[in-house]
């Protein structure tokens, strides 16, 4: 049983909860991360979530998203998931740029109620070997191209990607 970290709006730990329960029956505010990885040309790596995902399957997401495990900080959780989702073995230099709180409901299946940390880093596109249990496909896109695609077809993208993109835009222009 996967446990996630329950927090208050100030990101103070309140305890642990079962991950599935916190996304379905009792949507408690919990810690999450989402990360934008850029290639050398400053394009963003996006991943399409696997069809196996309970919430927002086959929707485009940031480069990597997850929940920190108890005892992990945001950087450690992101490093772990970059390895698990994208198959990248080497550590990537990451920077925490912001945090935000949001709630989003997915059909009648469940919801996200998260305090989400936004991280950025640079990745070599040659080292990516996506885990097909987690990732349906990957794609690099410019920041402006991503904004245009979201505007045209917003339902193709996860809610946290759209919110995190606003934070990224304030530092990337």
pLDDT, one tens digit per residue, over 17-73 is 999 888 887 789 999 999 999 999 999 999 999 999 999 999 999 999 999 999 999
In this prediction, residue 170 carries a pLDDT of: 73
CATH code, domain with 96: 3.90.79.10
Give the range of the structural domain holding residue 141, as residue numbers without chain letter. 3-172
Where in the sequence numbering do the catalytic residues fall?
114
The pLDDT tens digits of the residues spanning 76-123 come to 999 999 999 999 998 999 999 999 999 999 999 999 999 999 999 999
Confidence grade of residue 172 (pLDDT, cut at 50, 70, 90): low
DSSP result, the chain: --EEEEE-TT--EEEEEEHHHHHTTS---EEEEEEEEE-TTSPEEEEEEPTT-SSSTT-EE-SEEE-PPTT--HHHHHHHHHHHHH---S---EEEEEEEEEEEEETTTEEEEEEEEEEEEE--GGG----TTTEEEEEEE-HHHHHHHHHH-GGGB-HHHHHHHHHHHHHH-
Total of domains in the chain = 1
Query: What is the model's pTM?
Result: 0.94
């Amino acid at each position: 049983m996967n446990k996630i970290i329950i927090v208050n709006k100030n990101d103070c730990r309140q305890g642990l909860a079962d991950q599935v329960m916190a996304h379905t029956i009792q949507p408690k505010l919990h810690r999450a991360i989402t990360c934008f990885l850029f290639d050398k040309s400053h394009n963003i790596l996006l991943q399409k979530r696997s069809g196996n995902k309970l919430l927002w399957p086959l929707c485009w997401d940031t480069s990597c998203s997850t929940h920190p495990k108890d005892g992990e900080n945001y950087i450690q959780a992101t490093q772990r998931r970059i390895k698990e989702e994208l198959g990248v073995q080497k550590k990537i230099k990451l920077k925490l740029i912001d945090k935000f709180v949001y709630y989003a409901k997915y059909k009648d299946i469940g919801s996200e109620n998260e305090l989400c940390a936004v991280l950025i880093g640079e990745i070599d596109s040659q080292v990516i070997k996506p885990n097909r249990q987690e990732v349906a496909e990957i794609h690099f896109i410019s920041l402006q191209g991503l904004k245009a695609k979201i505007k045209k077809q917003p339902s193709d993208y996860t809610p946290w990607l759209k919110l995190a993109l606003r934070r990224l835009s304030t530092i990337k222009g």
